[in-house]
Amino acid sequence: MNKYTVTVILMVLAINSLAATKIYKYTDENGNVHYTDKKPSEDAKEAQLKSPNIVESTPIESRPRWQKSDNTEQLSQFSFEGFAISSPQAGESIWGAGGNITVSVNLDKKLQPNYRVKFYLDGISHGKVKSNSQLIADVERGEHQIYAQVIDAFSRKVIKTSEPVTFYVKQHSKK
């Protein structure tokens, strides 16, 4: 046997012997009651102790109460049927924006605290926001495609993806 096994066995035996220890009760010359695990005198009596109150703890729920569960009723409640890009609109030409485009989505329901909206411009992610709009900087002129997703921030699951919208950024040419 290795030294760890021997140590564990000795600890278990020591704990068992402590659990079996008797408790004695005696009264001193001043009338004070004392309790001890060593018999102080022959007139000390073994204390009759009640068994301790044991209360079973309730298990802790591992996920926040507001977090989405596998319940199909809750899934349908937060399905975001009206989730779509509202700005820019399909086929829209944006002039003189200086490369800054504000994109937004329509949401038919309020986002849950753990949900985020993630925008993708030309397939590239542009962060996760708690609101339904975001400013995207340095958008070059030309044709672009944007779509958005509602994502559960805890599980990183995609809840809903919008249809892509194609729009155009145009700039006046210098003469």
Q: What is the pLDDT along the chain (175 residues), one digit of tens a residue?
A: 677 787 877 777 666 555 557 788 888 889 888 888 887 777 777 877 777 778 887 776 655 444 444 543 444 455 667 788 888 888 888 887 777 888 888 887 777 788 888 899 888 888 777 788 888 888 888 899 999 988 888 888 888 888 899 988 887 776 6
pLDDT at 60: 66
pLDDT at 55: 81
Tell if the pTM clears 0.75, that is, is over it.
no
pLDDT at 145: 92
Q: Cite the residue boundaries of each domain of the chain with CATH code 2.60.40.10.
A: 72-170
- DSSP helix/strand/coil, 18: helix
pLDDT at 73: 42
**Are the CB atoms for 68 and 143 separated by under 8 Å?**
no
Which backbone phi and psi does 24 adopt, to 5 degrees? -110, 150
The CATH H-level (homologous superfamily) assignment of domain 72-170 is Immunoglobulins (2.60.40.10)
DSSP 50-113: PPPP--PPPPPPSS-TTS--S-HHHHHHT--TT-EEEESPTT-EEES-TT-EEEEEE-SSPPPT
pLDDT at 17: 57
Question: Is the dihedral angle over the CA atoms 36, 38, 42, 48 positive or is it negative?
Answer: positive
**Are the CB atoms for 103 and 130 separated by under 8 Å?**
no
